[in-house]
Each structure stands twice: as structure tokens, then as C-alpha cells.
A and B are shown apart, each in its own frame.
Chain A
Amino acid sequence: MEAYIPMLLTIITAATPLLFAAVGEMVTEKSGVLNLGVEGMMIMGAIIGFLTVHLTGSATVAILASIMAGVIMAALFASLVLFFHASQVPTGLALTIFGIGLSALVGQSMIGVAYDGIPSLAIPGLASIPVLGDLLFKHDILVYLSVLMVILVHLFLSKTRAGLILRAVGDSHDAAHAMGYSVIRIRFLATLFGGGMAGLGGAYLSLAYSPLWVEQMTAGRGWIALALVVFASWRTWRVLFGAYLFGGISILQLHAQAYGIAVPAQVMSMLPYLATIIVLVIISRDLSKIRINAPASLGRSFHPSR
């Protein structure tokens, strides 16, 4: 068992950024907003976090700055689609293009700069359990936070009144509006939440997963997170499962060579993208499954006068 611990640990670290971004996007989509700009928000979270940790020396401040970066990017998107009634698909694309460009510009001075990575946080007592302690209780704070967020989001959506209202807005904005709920405000907040979570995912990449700055270092993880939401058919626990599944696929390339499997690195790097396509096909094939769980108003613009 102990021989597998390093591999299992890399699965957890590879899954964490996906988990943050996908859970956040799921909440956004539950409110009826399809934000295709996850990649852009994530990459901004990554560079702002990395920049901040070098300016302040504080990982905590850096993580908060990453969240803010994601929130600000999401606010830009939300303003356009909610107040300016811009169509959601192109606006999300614009957010990604803009984020990739801006992060490259902001990150000019950070190329080649090193950072030790945020320290891991062994939980006293639990961390000394053999095997399990190494596996589950010696991570950095962001890994714990990602799992905590899954639990909180699950409780919020399924057990609270506010979560019910959020889902109502996503399923029928006209009905929710008629009942007196502020569709625009709820969607705005849900989109900001998604942005903050994407920012956290980016922070994990540049502060913990590979603590350095490389242009376009998110490498499509934002898009994979979007696919994960579909894969999970908008259910929180399945997002968790999906993120860990994809984490497992994306670390195969790290371990294939160690086990003497002679497959070119590029082919191994293709796996997460190919897996995303395969998973999408399997899930989307059954239209009824998508229809049951997908927010019915997903991607539709709302104007109270109609």
C-alpha cells in the first residue's frame, strides 16, 4: 500500500484545481448562467496569486488576491451578460481570451522566478495514522479547503432556502421573478462565486501544484472543469468524483515513465483532453439524463420586461 501513496498524492494535487473551478462553475450554472470564461478567470487567479506572494511574502494574502482576481473577472462577465444582455457564449470566450492576454502581460516580470510553494499543514493526531495520515492529513490548506467547499456547496444547494432559490432562478427565471426574487442579483452573486472559486483553482496551480509562473499554465483546465460540470450532471458529489478521476488521468504521464511504459510524452499529455471528449460523449448521449438535472434556463438572458 505504501508504495502507492506518492501516486495517490499526485492524484489529489492534480484534482484540486479542477475541483475548485468545477464546483464554482456548477453553482454559477445552477443559477442559469453559463460562464465559458473559467480558463480566463483561473489563469488570472494563478498570476495574481503568484505576483502577490512575491510582493507580500504571504501565502494567505496571495490566496485572497487570487480569489479577488477571479471575482473581478467574473464581475466583468456578469455585468456584460446581466446588465448589458450580452450573449453568454461569446462573452465567456472573450473573458478567456482577455484573461490569457492580461495574465501574460502582468506576468512578464515573473517568468523564471521561483517560489517554495505553500507549506503543508499536518493535522495534529490524524496525520500520524499510518498510511491514511500520509495520504489524507498532510496536505496544504487549499486541498482541505477544496473538499470543504464541496461539502458546503452541497449543503447550500440541497439544504438551505437560499440554495433552493438559486436553483429556482436557474430553472425558471420568469417564475422566480414572479415570486419576487431578484433574478439579476442572485445570478450576479452566483457568477462571482464561480469566479472566486476559479481564482482559487488558479492559485492552487501557481502556488502549490507547480509553484512558478508559465504563460497559459492552466493548459485547458478551465475548459476541463466546464466539461466536469456536464459530466457530473450538475451534482456536487459527482463533481468531486469527476475531478479526482481527471486528476488520476492527468498524472498518468508522470508515472508512465517510472513504470517503464514507453509512450511519448505528448501522447500522455493528450489523455486528459481525450478523456474529456470521451466522458462528454458518454454523458451527453442520454438526452433525458441531461434534461433532468441541467438548469432549464441555462444560458438564457433575462430581461424583466418580457
Chain B
Amino acid sequence: MLPSLVKRQQISRPMVYLSPVLAFLLSLLAGVVLFIIMGVSPLAALHAYFIEPLSSSYNLAELAVKATPLVLIGVALSLGFKAGVWNIGAEGQLTIGGLCGGVVALFFYDQQGFYILPLMLLAGIAGGMAWAAIVAFLRVRFNANEILTSLMLSYVAGLFLNLMVHGPLKDPDGFNFPESRLFSDSAILPILIEGTRLHIGALMALIAVGLGWVIISRTLLGYQIKVAGSAPAASAHAGFSGARIIWITLLIGGACAGLAGVIEVSGPIGQLLPSISPGYGFTAIIVAYVGRLHPVGALFAGILMALTYLGGEMAQIQLNLPVAVTGVFQGLLLFFLLACDVLIHYRVQFGKPALAGERK
């Protein structure tokens, strides 16, 4: 008797939260198989990936540094995805945000002042929002698919940053390397814990989680987002403006991604480089899903995905494993999650389906 899937009368609450755990365990299992194929001791690899990053206070701080952009963007994407607005170009919004913040930092490079950093953050947020606004405008005004436009704009943003650091923003004393000047001390985010790289950006990510939670569970906007995603027809019938939700969710996404970008350049990086993110904007898509499209979930999921980045670096140093393993692991995790999510809406039944009219 083949098992078959039967639609549940109601969605299964426990499965909503069990599914990510199950998916993580399955990815671990797949990871072990992968390591064996690659001829690496699975125990040593898992130790490098999941124990090492948690084993010293410095590494824990590094984990928070990497989780910061992921959580920030993940929270914002959660809101958008919940509303059915597919902004998958956060990487581009991050890039433009970092670039705008960086331009402010370089403009004041020979000055010191408390005002520089807030200006940078604002410029970054504005830059990210502007980049996302293009997507919103094209979607609302011309009905252009936001998945494709936001992604195409990511490529454009990457090339634009590249152009800027090869040209006008290049360090004049930098031996012609495509890098900007190092930012002045006033343009660097304050460090939270001495001796680590943990900066105040991490607090901003926590604030974003709190704000995201308030929006989604305590405001009319949050309600409209949920209805727009789960029942678009009902949403329109209730008079909720679809265009408004597209604009707001995209602008929130752009703001958070832009902020993440400026946090990256003014935190761990400290200057503008041709590339300022190892794909945080794309990984944040996984963060949003693993976090069940909920801001608090995005916090945990962001930390988990940061662990795969940091673990990937550890495994590279200790076991000479390619960094690409991280990407494979992230992809697998999302696959398994989507597969496990079937159990939210369906239950497995062994034996003959009881439904009339079922064809085989």
C-alpha cells in the first residue's frame, strides 16, 4: 500500500514549528552524506560547522555580526512574503544602501563628528528604499513582475558599486586597487564588546525584530498584510489597497536591506569594496522561510544561517573544505523545509485513499 497525502481540515499548528526542526535534521543528515562523499570525516566537519562557532566568546560575537544583516533583512522579507510580494532583490538594495552610506563616509573622510554615522545610516536606508521603490513603482504602475525586476536590479546594483569603486570612489593612495579609502573613526559603528567585532548594528537588528512583531501582530497594516497574502480576493473586497501593501512592504524591505548594507560597510568592512556581501540578501530569503515568515522566527533563523556562514569559514580553515559547501547546505535546508511543510496542510495516510473520484 502506497502512502498518500490527505488534505487536513485545519492546518497543523505543531507542524508549523516542527517542520524547520525536521528540515534542519534532514539537512544535517544530507550534510553527513555529502562529507562522506567528499572524503571528509563527518564528525570533524560537523564539529567545525556547529560546535566551533559556538565555542568561544569571540566566535559568538562573530556569529552575531553575521546574523545582523540576515535578521534585519529576514524580518523585512517576512512581511513582504506574507503579503505575497516577492522582493528577492534585497541583495541589490543592500548594495545600494552600503554604497550610499559609504559615499557619506567618504565625503566626511577627513572630519570627525557624531553626526557622520547617523547621516550614513539615513543615507543607507534612503538608498535601499529608493532601489526598492523602483520595483514597487514598476509593479504598481506597469504590473511588471517584482521577482524579475528586483533581481535584475540586483545585478545592476552590483555592477554600479563595482563601477564606483573602480572609478570615482577609488582610494587615491590605494595603488590603483578597486577599493575606497578606509572610513574615518567617526564613520565606524561603535563596538559593543571590547576585543570583538560585535557592533551596535546587532541592536538595530533586535529592534527591527521587535518592530516587525508589533507591525504584524498589533497593527491594522499587519492584518492587511496577512489578508493580502492568504486571501487576495477578500482583501480587495474589504477595500484594502493592494498597491499600498506592495509599496509599504517593498519600502520596508528596501529600508532594512539598505540599513544592513550600511551596517556592513561601517561595521566589519570599514570601507567600500567591489563586493560588500557574501549573498546576505539571498540567504535572507531562506531566513524568512525558516523563520516561518514571522519576525521572531527570523531572529532564530538568522542566527542559524549565520552559523552556516561562520561554520563554513571554520571548515575552510581547519579542514580545507570549500566555502561552497555553505551554499549547498543552505539550499538543502530550504528544500527540506519546503518538503516538510507539506505536513502542515496534509497528513500522510497509508492504504487506499477514501476519497471518491480519485483516479490512479
Contact = CB atoms under 8 A, between A and B. Distances in A.
Interface stretch (A51-59, A134-142, A280-288): A280-288
Interface string A248-280: 000000000000000010110110011011001
A94 B334 contact: yes
Given A85-B342, A280-B148, A97 B138 contact: no
B330 interface: yes
Report the interface size class on chain B: 35 or more
The dominant DSSP class at the A interface is: helix
Contacts of A224: 152
Contacts of A273: 152-153, 155-156
Interface stretch (A23-31, A102-110, A232-240): A102-110
Interface string B345-360: 1100000010101110
A217 interface: no
Given A101-B328, A108-B322, A285-B142, A87 B156 contact: no
B162 interface: yes
B163 interface: yes
Interface in B133-182: 138, 142-145, 147-149, 151-153, 155-156, 159-160, 162-163, 166-167
Interface in A70-113: 76, 80, 84-87, 89-91, 93-95, 97-102, 104-105, 108
B152 A84 contact: no
B355 A305 contact: yes
Interface stretch (B120-128, B207-215, B281-289): B281-289
B148 A90 contact: no
A266 B162 contact: yes
Contact of B286 (A86, A97, A274): A97
Interface string A211-231: 000010001100110110010
B322 A270 contact: no
B223 interface: no
A180 interface: yes
Given A264-B167, A280-B145, A280-B149, A90 B334 contact: yes
A14 interface: no
Given A97-B286, A108-B324, 11 more contacts: A90-B334, A94-B335, A101-B325, A102-B328, A102-B331, A105-B328, A220-B155, A266-B163, A273-B153, A284-B143, A304-B355
26 contacts: A80-B335, A80-B339, A85-B345, A90-B289, A94-B338, A97-B282, A97-B331, A97-B334, A98-B332, A99-B331, A101-B324, A101-B325, A101-B328, A102-B327, A108-B324, A264-B166, A266-B166, A267-B163, A273-B152, A276-B148, A277-B144, A284-B143, A284-B145, A285-B142, A287-B143, A305-B7
Interface of B: 5-7, 86, 88, 138, 142-145, 147-149, 151-153, 155-156, 159-160, 162-163, 166-167, 282, 285-286, 289, 322, 324-332, 334-335, 338-339, 341-342, 345-346, 353, 355, 357-359
